[in-house]
Structure 1
Amino acid sequence: MADTGIPHFCNDLGLTTIEVGSKEFMCIGAKPPFDHPHIFLDLGEDTEKVCPYCSTLYRYNPDLAPGAAKPEACVWHDDGETSAAA
């Protein structure tokens, strides 16, 4: 898949809520090969949205950099790697 610049987030940790620094992103569920269809979520004016596939609640946190997540392990890259802890 070509890198489109849209952040992708995963939830291998089984969290109910993930904080994100982007208002437009993709939820993939768990990391491949256990992922669900990659769903584009747009928060628009909202600060929270639930993924219709995995029921993860994504909450916008303006203190996070665009593309960042809390916890950091929820950031997924097209190469299949999660971000390393800083």
Structure 2
Amino acid sequence: MAGNIIPHFANDEGVERISIGVKEFNCMGARDPYDHPHVYLDMGTDNEIICPYCSTLYVYDAQLGPEESVPAGAIVHEAAGRAA
């Protein structure tokens, strides 16, 4: 995704699974002050990945756009230097 903004996702609700519309992204755990290091995750050819820090299961859903998630509040628009 060189040259593209990498979306950030946070699990503030503490759900076990978050569906997202991208395969490359950053997991930040929860929003500050409860975040963990913002870790880059790449599903590659798989359709799911588990964050090694918070154990959130991220599942790719082709019906979702790159700025969408289920639950909807998991996408972070103001993460680490990103404009809202």
Unaligned runs of 5+ in 1: 81-86
Match of 1:64 in 2: 64
The 3-state SS of whatever aligns with 1:41 is: strand
Q: Please tell me the root mean square deviation across aligned C-alpha atoms, in Å.
A: 1.4
Q: Percent identity?
A: 49
Partner Cα distance (1:16, 1:26) in 2: 17
Give CA deviations for 1:32-74 in whole Å, capped at 9, x if unaligned.
1110000000001000000000000000000000131111100
Match of 2:12 in 1: 12
Partner Cα distance (1:48, 1:63) in 2: 15
Q: TM-score, structure 1 length as denominator?
A: 0.84
Q: How does 1:32-71 map to 2 (within 5 A)?
A: 32-71=32-71
The 3-state SS of whatever aligns with 1:22 is: coil
Match of 1:28 in 2: 28
Alpha-carbon shift at residue 79 of structure 1 (Å): 5.4
Partner Cα distance (2:42, 2:27) in 1: 11
- What stretches of structure 1 move > 4 A for 4+ residues in a row? none
Match of 1:83 in 2: none
